Amino acid sequence: MSQKILFGAAAAVALLLGIGAAAAHTIVGNRVFPATLTIDDPGVNDELVLPMFTYLPTSNPDGTEGPITYSAGWEFDKTITPDLVFTIGNEYDWQRNPQAAGWSNIDTEAKYVFYQNPEHEFIVAGAESVDWGNTGSPQGSSLPSTPFTTVTSKAFIGKGFGDVPVDWIRPFAVTGEMDFSIPTVSINADQSLNPTVLTYGATLQYSLLYENSFIHQMPDFVNKLIPAFEGIFSTPISNIGPYVPGMFSPYDTTGVVGPSLYYIGQYFEVGVMAQVPINEESGRHVGALAIIDFFLDDIAPDTIGKPLFSPPEVRNP
């Protein structure tokens, strides 16, 4: 494999691993929005993700098997006020074909809820995220971290349908996220380009937890489950390099879609998802995501789980 092909495959893996990094659960009125695996939920909370696991097989442009990457990440969310949260996290990646391993860059984020309507289970939020260059494994390692910083502006929305007067619709909810990522270095030393990227995704959820609480009682083994279908996609939009024969096109959109399932306990959440690539650039085989998310605002509501500058939040469901 040539160096350029290897770099291109590694960049695609890094993009797909990084597009769903943040995770938290949100309560708006009677609605619980789980910490979904492809996009962040639209709220702010005190939580600890430990771990988030990713398995992602990719392909090379010639159709042969590309890098197979595994990652284990962590994230800590600390509310400053009931509407503002600061997040920090990163992940350790290890790879086969070829063998490599290393830490990703440290990622931080400030997220603010601009509007929420409990009666209509509706919420809107925004965030600024920074992936800090060279804060992971050094450039001499087998899987170095990105040497430049990337700044991302994000927008989030969530809507539950508990206000609809039709029982079979009320357990449904949707969430969405749109990100605009700008690298602080546009041209690398080898003259390759770092594009600005638009990332966008959505989830469609059906809450058996909501159905059990507000419509009719469900069996014990399913009444805390939220099945969903979700997807996330990334499209380079500017500063895009020319097409190089033998490599994937730098203009193509990459992404994954797939079913997911979340268990919502009193103090934690467990989630799993199958990642189905949308094209060859995204991979040829199904990957997987998993998460364990601890609700610090429920575990320790009067200490580490409360906002720094306000009383503990009232959490109903």
Could you tell me the domains of the chain?
A: 3-299 (2.40.160.40)
User: Residue 208: what residue type?
Assistant: L
Residue 242 CA from chain centroid, whole number = 29
Query: How does pLDDT run across 215-266, given as a tens digit for each residue?
Result: 999 898 899 999 999 999 999 999 998 888 888 888 999 999 999 999 999 9
Cβ(116)–Cβ(150) below 8 Å: no
Dihedral angle sign, alpha carbons of residues 100, 102, 108, 113: positive
C-alpha closest to that of 151 among 168, 169, 133: 133
**Whether the predicted model's global pTM rises above the 0.85 cut:** yes
Q: Using one digit for the tens of pLDDT, what is the confidence trace for 272-298?
A: 999 999 998 888 889 999 999 999 999
